Chain A
Amino acid sequence: MKALVIDDSRVMRRIVGGILTGVGFDVVEAGDGKEALARLEENDDVQLCCIDWNMPVMTGFEFVVEARKRDEWRDITLMMVTTEGEQNQIVRALAAGAHEYVIKPFTPDVIVDKLQFLGLVEAKETL
């Protein structure tokens, strides 16, 4: 399984990437939406993108809109991971084609929970 982590903060890429590696993903990174589109062109086996909203060059929201125009990428799961927590922003991102939305700050289990719902990590009952 391969995941693309899109964030302009190298620290955030490392944190999110570390969580994903821990549940079995190979991780590639991008620092903005435009670079992320290029990474997707190079890696046709990406199944999941974790996407920050506010980034230079191309925002995460613009990336979602662009990625959803491409038929060959329609099976990729798009998950926003952002400090933007206004309800209308969550609604907008979901309407544009994002599947999930994580508001920063978060704990690692939040990401893992979401991946379980999305069927990307095996769900198991916990205590």
Chain B
Amino acid sequence: MSIAPEAFDFVATLVRQRSAIQLEKGKEYLVESRLAPLARSAGAPNVDAYVRTLRANTGLHDAVVEALTTNETSWFRDISPFNMLRQHVIPELRNQGKRHLKVWSAACSSGQEPYSIAMTVKDHHADLGLSVTATDLSEEVLSKARLGAYSQLEVNRGLPAPVLVKHFVRKGATFEINPQLRDQITFRKHNLLDQPPVGGPFDIVFIRNVLIYFDVATKREVLSKVRRSLAPGGYLFLGAAETTIGIDDSWERVHEGGASVYRPREGK
């Protein structure tokens, strides 16, 4: 799947007019991956068809601009979930006797989230084994993620300098992630409405800033699939604006230090 040039131009113009953000050629994968959930929830067969409906329906424009501007993926930018991971979730899994963590990073986009997870484990729980299954709908973002090479602009954003020099090597104009960290991550194409990816059952699932684009029935369906993919005692991370509350009461929320994480309730 690849977005048609005229659809890309339409979206790029819309986003530029509304947010001053420039989506240059080469960012097609970004438009595709950000708009795919919107297209799906609107019942459009693909992103091109969804963009055609945008031309007639300006009421949808806000959601499109928001999807392309507010959820820019970047390292530890939301620091609180990673603090929660390091200080609360991993110690709790250690108490359960875990020595090798299996993590699913869903909708991983260009890879900043799974690499941030691997850096967190390496820096703070180096004795634990780790395998991360990182998935996205878009093969294009996955190809970028697999390379583990980022521009200076990309590493400026949300990546502390001491972490940058510890885990990346500069090669020409890009910074490349340490291959040892990269080898802990398996990237796979996956649709959240399909069965969970191989690599589980998972001790921790990250599925952040995705549910906001789904209707309630789809949220329930995704959460139910995620629950079945979790190992006993496992944890779920959602985005800051997302919750299971009022959608699926089989989860309990654990709130620590300004961040939330979810666990399946016993007996549900």
Q: What residues make up the interface of A, taking CB atoms closer than 8 Å to B?
A: 85-87, 90-91, 94, 98-103, 105-107, 109-110, 113-114, 116-117, 123, 125-127
Is the CB–CB distance between A127 and B79 below 8 Å? no
Which of the residues B158, B165, B239 comes within 8 Å of A127, measured between beta carbons?
Answer: B239
Is the CB–CB distance between B240 and A94 below 8 Å? no
Is the CB–CB distance between A126 and B78 below 8 Å? yes
Query: Can you name 17 extra interface pairs (CB under 8 A) apart from A113-B77, A117-B79?
Result: A85-B152, A86-B170, A87-B165, A90-B164, A91-B165, A101-B164, A109-B157, A113-B74, A113-B158, A117-B160, A123-B258, A125-B78, A125-B240, A126-B70, A126-B240, A127-B71, A127-B240
Complex CA distance for A115 and B135, rounded to whole angstroms = 31
Q: Which residues of A contact B78 (CB under 8 A)?
A: 125-126
Q: Which residues of B contact A116 (CB under 8 A)?
A: 79
**B156 interface residue per 8 A CB criterion:** yes
Q: Which residues of B contact A107 (CB under 8 A)?
A: 157
Closest partner residue, chain A, to B159 (CB atom): A113
B window 139-190: CB within 8 A of A:
152-153, 156-158, 160-162, 164-165, 168-170
**B60 interface residue per 8 A CB criterion:** no
Closest partner residue, chain A, to B239 (CB atom): A127
Is the CB–CB distance between A125 and B152 below 8 Å? no
